[in-house]
Every structure is written in C-alpha cells, then in structure tokens.
Amino acid sequence: MAVLSSPLLFIASIPPVTRGFTAATLVSSLFYAWLRWNGTVYAPYLTVVPGSSLFYPWTFVTSVLVETSIFELIGSLIFVPPSLRYLERLWGSVETLKFIAVSVGFSNIIGFGFNWLEFMFTRDADLFLYGMQYHGQMALQIAILVAFTQIIPEHQVQILGVLKARVKTLPMAYLTVSTVMTFLGFQCPWIIIQFGWFVGWIYLRFYKKNTGDSVGGVDSYGDRSETFSLISWFPPFVHYPLSILANFVYSLATRLHLIPTSSPDLESGLYSQVPGSARAEAERRRAMALKALDQRLANTATPPPSSSSPPKVPRAPPAAAAARSDTKAMPSSPPGAPRANERSKSVGEIDIGDVPKDGR
C-alpha cells in the first residue's frame, strides 16, 4: 500500500463503514474504561448481560464496539479494520454493514438463550444471568475469517511473522482455541466464537445477496458450492452423519420458506464459487477453459507414423466411384462380340496406321 503524505488523506481513503466502525470502537471502549476508572463495574447498557439485556435490546449489536481490556482493543484494531476495508471494497458498504450486524447480533442472541438454558438447569442466576457479559469483536473476527475462507481460501498468511498458514485453516484453529477455553471454564466471552462461526457461515451460505452475479436481473443469494458446504469444515469420518443432519435441516427450512431462492449458474448448472465478484468468477472460468484446452491438446497429440506402417490407400473420388458403379451395372457381352471399347474405336476413332501415305 502506498504511503500517503497526509494522515487526513489516509483516513479519507478508508471506506465509510470501516472508518465509522473503527471510530465507534475507540470511543465506546474508552468510555467503558472511563466508567471502570470511576468504579462502575456493572454496565448492562453497553454489554450483553443475559439477566438485563431484554431491557437494553440495542446491546445485542452495539456490544461489539466495547472492548474491556487494552489487549483486546489492540488485537481488534490490528485485525478488524483492515479486514473490513477489504470486504467493504469487495461487497460495498451496505452488505458490509449487514454482515457486521447479523454476525454480531445473532451470535449474542444465541449466547443469551444459551445462558438462560443453563440457568434453567442449574438455577444459578448470579453466574449465568448476571455474572457473564458478552462484549467485543470475537464473533465478528471469526465471521471475517469465514468470509476470507470463502473468498481467498488458498491465500497464505504469516502469523506474528513466524507461522505460515492458509486462510482456510484459520477459522477452525480459532474455533479450537475457543472450545478449549470454554471447557477450561472461560465460557464468556470465548463461547461466542463458536456462535459467530456458525452464524457467519449460515449468512454467507444462504442469505448474503450477490448483486454482482445477477443473471437476467435476478439476484442470487449465498454460496451453494461444494467447497463451502458444512461438511467441508470437518474431517472425513464425520461427513456422513453431518450430511444426514444438514440435509434434514435444509429440507425443513426450505419447506418453511426460511431460505431465499437463488438463481443457478446458467453455463455450468451450479452456483458461483465466489459470489458477489463477477471478476473472480470470470477468472475461474478462464482457468477452467485453459485447463480443458491443455487436456485436449495433450489427448490429440499423436506420435509420427513409423516406416513399417503400410501406406494408406487414397479413396477414389466420387466421380470415379460412380463410373465404376455404372460399369458394374452394364450387362456382360456374349462371347465373340466385340468389346465396347473396340466398337467405339471402329466408329469414332481412326488408327494412325490406317491413314494412307501421300493422301492415297
């Protein structure tokens, strides 16, 4: 990225949703730190507290803007704004804003319901209703990784300048860390990563509007390719039971009209591999065409003929074949009769030996 001469020009070059989201994160996190500095520990109007969030419904979305520690704030500022900038330039501001709201809002709603279920079984309100506060951008971070897995799965990145990994392996690695931390007793906020992964995948799989791949004016939704299916995230030995469960849930959701219909790819009969990017789809088709052309050239290339192979007999032209057929059709002449060529010679031709010399 080119280094801009002025910080104001750099800020102006950032897309609006990314710029506003980053500024709101800074302001909200600093405001929460100021409240903590003044002794306010309980702030249900900023974070999701399962026992109080029904009275502050906006926190299901706005809690993403609050980071409660300096380390969480630095980590979010390093990863989230550059990622949102990339997605906003690819998807547009509206789709990026919808992606943030859906990924964070539904993840917090699932966490809210999960805590209430735990309270119903344990009756421990101090722990599960008022002792947990969901906040920060962990759900958004895992959803962004899912989006990158859809768009650039084979891209290789360096983690902390040492570890190298492909983009498609990062979501499950983050999900594994979340599972381990949850089993160790740190349910909040680590469990929100699992909900964010599932919500982000469902939205990108079925609901995201792909205006760039519209065919005949009809917009497509989601990414129905096999490389982005649910079983592609898990090892092969669990594919069969997961496919049965996923097919049942999908058929039920289709009957209830919970999943929007999507227009298929008219050329290949499938859905676009990278929805929302006609340029990426064109590059994919071009690569497939070049591969098919190389295979065809390799199959049609034959070795030079050897000297021992018999020469090919050229076919007779159609006129000669017709003449042979006419000759075969003529009846055979009786014995002793002059042949046809001899008769033609006696009638229409004069042999040079029959011409008298000196005109006599």
182-228: per-residue pLDDT in tens? 999 888 889 999 999 999 999 999 988 876 555 555 677 888 888 88
Phi, psi (deg, nearest 5) at residue 213: -110, 25
Note the pLDDT of residue 181: 92
Q: Is residue 190 part of a domain?
A: yes
The count of structural domains within the chain is 1
Amino acid identity at 339: R
pLDDT tens digit sequence for 43-90: 889 999 999 999 999 999 999 999 988 999 999 999 999 999 999 999
Is 271 inside a domain boundary?
Answer: no
State both tokens at 319: 């006129």
**Taking a C-beta distance cutoff of 8 angstroms, is the pair 207, 153 a contact?**
no
The CA-atom distances, in angstroms, between 176 and each of 60, 80, 182, 183, 240 are: 25, 20, 10, 11, 22
pLDDT at 163: 77
Residue 175, C-beta contacts closer than 8 angstroms, at least 6 positions apart: 142, 193, 194, 197
pLDDT of residue 100: 95
The answer as to whether 233 is a domain residue is no
Q: What is the Cα Rg of the chain in Å?
A: 38
User: Within a domain: residue 335?
Assistant: no
Rounded distance, CA 100 to CA 85, Å? 13
Res. 5: pLDDT tops 80? no
**pTM of structure:** 0.71
* DSSP, residue by residue, 48-65: B-TTTGGG-TTHHHHGGG
Per the CB < 8 A criterion, the answer to whether 98 and 88 are in contact is: no
Six token digits for residue 242: 């997961």
Question: Cβ neighbours of residue 56 under 8 Å, at least 6 residues apart?
Answer: 44, 45
| Total H helices, total E strands in the chain | 13, 4
Residue 249 lies in a domain: no
In this predicted structure, what is the pLDDT of residue 14?
Answer: 87
> SS3 letters for 112-179?
HHHHHHHHHHHCCHHHHCCCCCECCCHHHHHHHHHHHHHHCCCCEEEECCCEEEEHHHHHHHHHHHHH
What domain range is 77 assigned to? 1-207
Mean pLDDT (the chain) is 78
List, in sequence order, every beta strand (DSSP E) within the chain. 156-159, 163-166, 209-215, 218-221
Q: Is position 35 within any domain?
A: yes
Question: What are the CA-CA distances from residue 187 to residues 73, 112, 132, 325 (Å)?
Answer: 20, 12, 8, 94
CATH of residue 72: 1.20.1540.10
C-alpha span between 288 and 293 (Å, rounded):
9
Alpha-carbon 137 to chain mean position: 24
Does any domain span residue 270?
Answer: no
Across the range 113-131, mean pLDDT stands at 91
CB 210 within 8 A of CB 276: yes
Q: State residue 360's pLDDT score.
A: 43
Q: Which residues contact 13 (CB under 8 A, 6 or more apart)?
A: 4
In order of 8, 17, 41, 184, 214, the CA distances from 44 in angstroms are 35, 26, 10, 26, 43
Report d(CA 265, CA 273) in Å as an integer.
10
Encoded tokens for 171: 């979501």
Most confident of 185-189, 276-280, 336-340: 185-189
> Is the residue at 280 inside a domain?
no
> How would residue 302 be classed by pLDDT, with cut points 50, 70 and 90?
low
pLDDT value at 325 more than 60: no
Q: Identify whether the C-beta of residue 219 lies closer than 8 Å to the C-beta of residue 134.
A: no
